Structure 1
């Protein structure tokens, strides 16, 4: 799988993890068509399964699943530093690290979302090279895997997306977590 396909996967996952609306529902077939260009069959299969399951739901059902999964799930919320830090001071340091790292690499984060919001992280990943990606995702790999481990794709369609993210990170060479990167001083 080429790195540009990995970036495309991150962008698709970021989009599919956005709060569901009619525009998302209307775009599911277009997203499925975009998957044809992906070479890694396991990633493609996970995303196709998500899309097929999403098409079977009404918008209100998809919203309900999303809210239940990500807004009320302490172990499955999309703020990756919350899992390890909660509201502790250390989380503030992680958020500052992310915001500064994004800025250093030309990625401006709006104030609408915290920088540890997984769709924002994936959007960043879709725009940068492997070396720029590594410090962020090595640092938070365990948190992302933890979210994935709590989402059984047989029960919750969003498990297909989190599994795709883990597979794409592995394809990008992110396989071992590193808590702090000695290469980055923020």
Structure 2
């Protein structure tokens, strides 16, 4: 259940979240896999976010995850960028979803972090850490970048990292990203538009211009019913090794 909670808070904010505040806080308090400091951070995040006006929360979410690529919620983008390898990696991941009994709509991007967490939540508890370890380096990077911006969303990604069971030295990551320039400023976004207009790269459908890549479509939004169906299938305990090389 904790992974589904994290999935919903990483997804686009919805009114439904406000209806279950007490349940969320109880779930965090009773999660034995989390250290107390992580529980405190996550509980504080939930309290703060569910005390916000929804439109203000959504506006901040847009600014964080829809501008620039450094906080992209599509994790293969952090690994493969716009290379062709990303397409094959997504095909492989979809195959692993199917092996585990999860069918997703063809319009959904399998590397969307909330969807991946929903998938991991369907796996046996003793297998969940392995799947989370496959993306731990990306979760650590997102955690560090959010900490650098002093944004409390870092608590959610730090929780995913804690559930993976991997000890990551965030100080080293902070050193690596210390000189990173923000890619969500007006100047940075304008530069991307100019460069892609010249190269005709990026999104071919939109003439090479960047688009809002991270906001989930109506199909992806966890606040509505996803076109996902679970079948009675037993996941192969070694199946995630097939996609590990892509992560």
Using the size of structure 2 for normalisation, the TM-score is 0.62
Count matched residues. 171
C-alpha RMSD over aligned residues:
2.6
Q: Deviations over 1:142-175 (max 9, x none)?
A: 22221111111882121110111111111xxx56
Task: Report the Cα offset of residue 68 of structure 1.
Answer: 1.1
What is the CA-CA distance between 1:99 and the residue it aligns to? Answer: 0.5
8 A contact 1:81–1:140 mirrored in 2: no
The yes-or-no answer on 1:124 pairing with 2:182 is no
Contact 1:46-1:163 at 8 Å conserved across structures: no
Distance 1:73 1:13, change over 3 A: farther
Segment drifting more, 95-104 vs 46-55? 46-55
Q: Select which of 30, 41, 50 maps to 2:45.
A: 50
Q: Which deviations, in whole Å up to 9, do the C-alpha atoms of 1:100-135 show, x marking residues without a partner?
A: 01111111222343110111111111111244762x
| 1:29 counterpart residue number | 22
**Is the contact made by 2:96 and 2:240 (CA closer than 8 Å) also made in structure 1?**
no
| Greater Cα offset, 67-76 or 146-155 | 146-155
SS in 1 for 2:102: coil
TM-score (norm 1): 0.80
* 1:3 counterpart residue number: none
Alignment of 1:47-86 (within 5 A): 47-86=42-81
The unaligned stretches of length 5 or more in structure 1 are 1-7
1:149 corresponding residue in structure 2: 144
Asked if 1:168 is matched to 2:163, the reply is yes
Structure-2 change in CA distance of 1:133 and 1:120 (3 Å)? farther
The separation in 1 between residues aligned to 2:39 and 2:101, in whole angstroms, is 30
What stretches of structure 1 move > 3 A for 4+ residues in a row? 130-133, 136-139
- Closer/same/farther in 2, CA of residues 57 and 153 from structure 1, 3 Å limit: farther
Higher helix share: 1
- Specify the alignment match of 1:184 in structure 2: 242
- Give the number of the structure whose alpha-carbon radius of gyration is greater: 2
Q: Which runs of 5+ in 2 are unaligned?
A: 169-238
Shift of 1:182: 9.4
Counterpart of 2:13 (choices 6, 17, 20) is 20
SS state at 2:135 partner: helix
